[in-house]
């Protein structure tokens, strides 16, 4: 059933979520607190549908119809009547908590509030909202239009019907909706983040060429993409925040980010989105 969906944060992930929701037939109201980021995000969505048409996976008329269901918002108040809101802003707990306090005070009582966090406690976000029984995690994977998984994160506070509705919503996006407990890293990142951190550690300690390390994992372990290229795709800053959050949540130093990762983030080498990470990329 088509719903009104609000998406907050229109970076790469947020724009991808907007595209996925539009393609599934929903109406989407998209918001970013930075007007320039909002315009870039909306243009990213338009380009996403143009690629679908070019590849022959969508008719032009269907792409036009999807984009006609998209509108940009200039304030959180513009989202007051949505059925579900999905937050995809920076991975900073205090910033997310502030946003969910505002959402809890603004949205209709029956709205579902969802966070796309990859590692931050959904329970903490839910408590900040003032309506924790209506908060879930909907953790999409990058790039959202391509990756099939959505981790649907439940807290001990969520209403069972709200959680069931969230799973149904994710499945309606043609995604593999996997139930997850609210534990640091959920399921995938609990396994993946330390593996990627070990790849950075191996690079730093061996002096290997990043291209060779990635080639080795692809040819020897069957990875479809090398671990360093994957970090570049995810974003080195996102990987850094995930490492820090999981290490703190579990009290396990094995998850702590390698100093090389922190150094590269400080230098602004964030991967594909900046054109340079462990590899270099042409400007898009």
Report all structural domains of the chain as residue ranges with CATH numbers, in order of start.
4-181 (3.40.50.720), 189-266 (1.10.1040.10)
The CA radius of gyration of the chain, in Å to the nearest whole number, is: 19
> Up-side HSE of residue 101: CA atoms within 13 Å toward CB?
8
Catalytic positions? 118, 139, 151, 189
- Strands 4-8 and 176-181 turn out to be unpaired
Q: Is the dihedral of CA 223, 227, 232, 237 positive or negative?
A: positive
Average pLDDT over residues 127-144: 96
What average pLDDT does range 14-38 have in this prediction? 97
Query: What is the three-class DSSP state of 277?
Result: coil
Per residue in 42-69, pLDDT (tens digit) is 999 999 999 999 999 999 999 999 999 9
Query: What is the structure's pLDDT at 146?
Result: 95
- In tens, the pLDDT along 189-240 reads 999 999 999 999 999 999 999 999 999 999 999 999 999 999 999 899 989 9
Strand ordering across the sheet containing 27-31: 70-73, 27-31, 4-8, 84-87, 112-115, 135-140, 149-154, 176-181
User: So what's the pLDDT on residue 283?
Assistant: 62
Give yes or no for a contact between 112 and 162, defined as CB atoms under 8 angstroms apart.
Answer: yes
Q: Per-residue confidence at 284, pLDDT binned at 50, 70, 90?
A: low
Residue 119 has pLDDT above 90, yes or no: no
List, for residues 244-282, the tens digit of each pLDDT value: 989 998 998 889 999 999 999 999 999 999 999 999 998
Tell me what pLDDT residue 186 has: 95
Give the per-residue pLDDT at 196.
97
Predicted model pTM: 0.90
Tell me the average pLDDT across 99-124: 96
Dump pLDDT digits (tens) for 172-185.
999 999 999 999 99
Cα–Cα distance for residue pair 78/73, rounded to 1 Å: 6
Q: Is the pLDDT confidence value at 1 over 90?
A: no
Enter the tokens of residue 242: 């995930």
């Amino acid at each position: 059933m088509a719903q009104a969906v609000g998406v907050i944060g229109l970076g790469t992930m947020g724009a991808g979520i907007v595209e996925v929701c539009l393609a599934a037939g929903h109406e989407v109201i998209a918001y970013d607190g930075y007007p320039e980021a909002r315009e870039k995000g909306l243009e990213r969505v338009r380009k996403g549908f143009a690629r679908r048409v070019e590849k022959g996976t969508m008719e032009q008329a269907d792409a036009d119809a999807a984009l006609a269901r998209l509108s940009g918002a200039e304030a959180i108040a513009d989202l007051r009547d949505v059925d579900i809101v999905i937050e995809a802003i920076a991975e900073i707990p205090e910033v997310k908590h502030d946003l969910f306090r505002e959402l809890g005070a603004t949205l209709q009582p029956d709205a579902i509030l969802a966070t796309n966090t990859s590692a931050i406690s959904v329970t903490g976000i839910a408590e900040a909202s003032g309506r924790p029984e209506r908060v879930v995690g909907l953790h999409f994977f990058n790039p959202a239009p391509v990756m099939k998984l959505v981790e649907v994160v439940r807290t001990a506070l969520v209403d069972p019907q709200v959680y069931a509705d969230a799973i149904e919503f994710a499945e309606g996006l043609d995604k593999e909706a996997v139930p997850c407990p609210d534990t640091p890293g959920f399921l995938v990142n609990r396994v993946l983040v330390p593996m990627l951190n070990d790849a950075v550690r191996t690079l730093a300690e061996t002096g290997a060429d990043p291209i060779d390390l990635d080639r080795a994992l692809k040819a020897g372990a069957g990875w479809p993409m090398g671990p360093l290229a994957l970090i570049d795709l995810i974003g080195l800053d996102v990987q850094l925040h995930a490492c820090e959050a999981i290490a703190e949540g579990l009290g396990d130093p094995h998850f702590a980010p390698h100093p090389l990762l922190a150094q590269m983030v400080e230098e602004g080498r964030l991967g594909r989105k900046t054109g340079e990470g462990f590899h270099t990329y042409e400007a898009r």
